[in-house]
C-alpha cells in the first residue's frame, strides 16, 4: 500500500489513463488509536529493555519508543482494509498498487484519504473469422537430411595449405597495412590475419583484391569504404592497402564415416544410427520452428484485432521484470561487472506494453473458452521435451520436482491451446516453406 503525503511540485503530472479511478477513504481516529494501543500492549508483553524485567517496561516508555512504528502499521492496515472493502463494493479489478494520499480536511473524528489507482480493461475478444493466418508446411526428405549433414560437416571443417591462387571458400592468412592520405590509420594494420573468402568477414572490395593471389604474392590496391561504415572517420573515404598473402588453405570436410559419427555422440560409430538420430532431431527442430512461426502469427493477429488500453502500473511492473532478466543475462554472459550496467526504462517500454496487452487478451480467451492446461497435456509436453536428452526419465522427474518448472510448461500448453483455438476460428492458408528459409541462421556452417 503506497502512501505519499505530498507530491513534488516540480514533477510533471502524467496524463490520466482512461483506466484511472479514485476513491475516498476514511479512517476513524478512535478506532486507529485503539488499534495502536493494542499493538503497543502486545509489543510490551515481550519487550526487553535495559533496567526492566522482560514484559515490565512501562507503557509510556513503550509508546515513546515505538509509537510511530505502531501508528504507521495500524494506519496502513486500516487503509488497506478500507480500500479493499471499497473496491469490492464497486466490483472493481485493481491493476497494480493504489497511490494513497491524505486529504486536506479538518475533522476531529476521521482522517480522510484519496486513493488513485487503475483498473483492468474490459476485454471483449474479437471474432477471427475474417483473419487470415498463413501456416507454413515442410516435409523432411533426403535432400533436407543431406543439407543438415553438410552443415554438420562444415562445422567440423579443417583447412590444409595449397599451392594455388586463393578462391572462394579458401582461408587466407595475410599481412596488410591501410593508409588514408598516405598515412596509416588506426585499425588498418594486421599481421598473420586469417579469414575465409566469401564469408563476409572483410569488405567485398578487400576480398576481391585478395582473391586470385598465391602465397608469397603481394598487392597494392585502392578501395573506398562504404558511406555507412561503422568507423565514422573512414566512412565514404578512399584508402590504399598493401597486402601480402602468407598462406592459402582450402577447406577439407570430414568424410561421413565412423569417426564422424563418433564426433556427433554415436558411441559405436554406426553411420546409419547417426543418420537416424539426425533425422529424428531434425524433424523435432522443424516441427518446433513451424509451430513457432504459426504461434507468432496468431499472437500478432490477436494483438491487432483486440486493441486495448493497458494499465500503466502493469507496464511498469513488466519493465522492472524485463530489466531484471536483462541484468541476469548480462551477468551470466559477462560476469558480475555488468550487475550495475545502467539501463534506461524506455528501452523496454514497447516490449513491456506488448507483453501486458497480449497477456490480458490471452487471459480472457482462456477464461471464456476454457482453454486451461490439462494435466495430461502438461505431461505430454514434458515427455516430448525430455526425448532430446540421453536419459529422458531423469528430465521428466526434474520437471515434476518443482512446481515452478511445471508452471512454465503450463504456460506453454495454454499458449498452444490458444493457437489451436485461433486456427479453428480464423481462415488458415497452408503454404510450403523452403528448408533454408525456415532454418535460417540455424543451418549456416
Residue 225 within any structural domain of the chain: yes
Task: Read off the pLDDT of each residue in 212-230 and give the average, rounded to a whole number.
Answer: 96
Q: Crossing angle of helices 29-44/59-89, nearest 10°?
A: 130
Say what the pLDDT of residue 201 is: 92
Asked if 178 and 189 count as a contact pair (C-beta separation under 8 A), the reply is yes
Same-domain pairing of 360 and 407: yes
Q: Hey, CA dihedral for 106, 112, 117, 122, is it positive or negative? A: negative
Say what the pLDDT of residue 9 is: 39
Say what the pLDDT of residue 328 is: 87
pLDDT of residue 4 exceeding 50:
no
Same-domain pairing of 182 and 85: no
Residue 12 within any structural domain of the chain: yes
pLDDT tier at 13 (50, 70, 90 boundaries)?
low
pLDDT in tens, 230-263: 899 999 999 999 999 999 999 999 999 999 999 9
DSSP letter string, 78-103:
HHHHHHHHHHHHTT--EEEEEEEEE-
pLDDT in tens, 326-348: 988 888 887 776 667 788 999 99
Report helix, strand and coil shares of the chain as percent, to nearest 5: 50, 20, 30
CA distance 128 to 122: 18
Residues in the chain: 445
Say what the pLDDT of residue 443 is: 47
pLDDT of residue 151 exceeding 50:
yes
Q: Give the number of domains in the chain.
A: 3
In the structure grid, which three cell numbers stand for residue 317, read together? Answer: 511492473
pLDDT in tens, 379-389: 999 999 898 88
Residue 217 within any structural domain of the chain: yes
Query: C-alpha angle 300/303/305, rounded to 5°?
Result: 105
Residue 233 within any structural domain of the chain: yes
Residue 339 within any structural domain of the chain: yes
Q: For residue 63, what is the domain's CATH number?
A: 3.30.70.1050
| DSSP conformational letter for 336 | G
Task: Read off the pLDDT of each residue in 74-93 and give the average, rounded to a whole number.
Answer: 94
Q: Which of 206, 207, 210 is nearest to 218 (CA)?
A: 210
Same-domain pairing of 86 and 58: yes
Same-domain pairing of 184 and 315: no
| DSSP conformational letter for 265 | T
Residue 427, domain extent? 132-141+268-443
Which of 119, 149, 179 delimits the end of a domain? 119
Same-domain pairing of 162 and 137: no
Say what the pLDDT of residue 334 is: 76
Mean pLDDT of the chain: 91
Same-domain pairing of 244 and 283: no
pLDDT tier at 20 (50, 70, 90 boundaries)?
very high
The pTM of this model reads 0.74
Say what the pLDDT of residue 300 is: 95
Residue 127 within any structural domain of the chain: no
Asked if 110 and 28 count as a contact pair (C-beta separation under 8 A), the reply is yes
Listed range (84-98, 251-265, 429-443) with the worst mean pLDDT: 429-443
Task: Read off the pLDDT of each residue in 19-29 and give the average, rounded to a whole number.
Answer: 93
Amino acid at each position: 500500500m503506497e502512501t505519499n503525503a505530498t507530491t513534488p511540485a516540480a514533477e510533471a503530472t502524467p496524463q490520466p489513463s482512461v483506466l484511472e479511478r479514485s476513491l475516498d477513504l476514511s479512517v476513524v481516529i478512535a478506532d486507529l488509536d485503539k488499534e495502536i494501543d493494542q499493538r503497543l500492549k502486545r509489543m510490551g508483553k515481550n519487550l526487553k529493555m535495559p533496567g526492566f524485567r522482560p514484559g515490565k517496561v512501562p507503557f509510556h516508555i513503550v509508546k515513546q519508543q515505538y509509537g510511530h512504528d505502531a501508528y504507521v502499521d495500524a494506519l496502513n492496515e486500516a487503509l488497506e482494509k478500507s480500500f479493499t472493502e471499497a473496491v469490492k463494493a464497486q466490483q472493481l479489478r485493481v491493476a497494480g498498487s493504489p497511490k494513497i494520499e491524505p486529504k486536506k480536511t479538518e475533522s476531529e473524528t476521521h482522517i480522510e484519504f484519496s486513493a488513485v489507482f487503475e483498473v483492468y480493461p474490459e476485454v471483449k475478444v474479437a471474432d477471427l473469422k475474417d483473419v487470415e493466418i498463413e501456416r507454413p508446411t515442410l516435409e523432411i526428405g533426403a535432400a533436407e537430411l543431406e543439407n543438415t549433414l553438410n552443415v554438420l560437416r562444415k562445422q567440423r571443417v579443417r583447412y590444409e595449405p595449397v599451392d594455388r591462387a586463393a578462391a572462394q571458400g579458401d582461408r587466407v592468412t595475410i599481412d596488410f597495412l591501410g593508409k588514408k592520405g598516405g598515412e596509416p590509420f588506426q585499425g588498418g594494420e594486421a599481421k598473420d590475419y586469417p579469414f575465409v573468402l566469401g564469408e563476409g568477414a572483410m569488405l567485398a572490395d578487400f576480398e576481391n583484391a585478395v582473391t586470385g593471389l598465391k602465397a608469397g604474392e603481394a598487392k597494392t590496391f585502392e578501395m573506398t569504404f562504404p558511406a555507412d561504415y561503422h568507423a565514422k572517420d573512414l566512412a565514404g573515404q578512399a584508402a590504399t592497402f598493401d597486402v601480402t598473402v602468407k598462406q592459402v588453405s582450402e577447406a577439407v570436410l570430414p568424410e561421413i564415416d565412423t569417426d564422424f559419427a563418433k564426433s556427433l555422440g554415436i558411441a559405436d560409430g554406426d553411420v546409419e544410427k547417426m543418420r537416424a538420430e539426425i533425422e529424428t532431431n531434425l524433424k523435432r527442430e522443424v516441427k518446433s520452428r513451424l509451430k513457432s512461426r504459426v504461434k507468432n502469427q496468431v499472437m500478432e493477429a490477436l494483438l491487432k484485432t483486440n486493441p486495448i488500453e493497458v494499465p500503466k502500473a502493469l507496464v511498469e511492473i513488466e519493465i522492472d521484470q524485463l530489466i531484471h532478466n536483462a541484468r541476469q543475462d548480462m551477468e551470466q554472459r559477462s560476469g558480475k561487472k555488468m550487475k550495475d550496467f545502467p539501463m534506461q526504462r524506455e528501452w523496454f517500454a514497447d516490449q513491456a506494453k506488448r507483453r501486458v496487452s497480449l497477456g490480458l487478451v490471452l487471459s480472457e480467451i482462456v477464461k471464456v473458452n476454457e482453454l486451461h492446461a490439462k494435466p495430461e497435456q502438461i505431461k505430454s509436453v514434458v515427455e516430448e521435451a525430455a526425448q532430446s536428452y540421453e536419459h529422458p526419465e531423469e528430465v521428466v522427474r526434474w520437471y515434476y520436482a518443482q512446481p515452478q518448472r511445471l508452471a512454465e510448461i503450463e504456460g506453454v500448453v495454454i499458449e498452444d491451446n490458444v493457437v489451436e483455438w485461433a486456427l479453428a476460428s480464423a481462415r488458415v492458408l497452408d503454404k510450403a516453406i523452403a528448408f533454408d528459409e525456415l532454418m535460417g541462421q540455424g543451418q549456416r556452417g
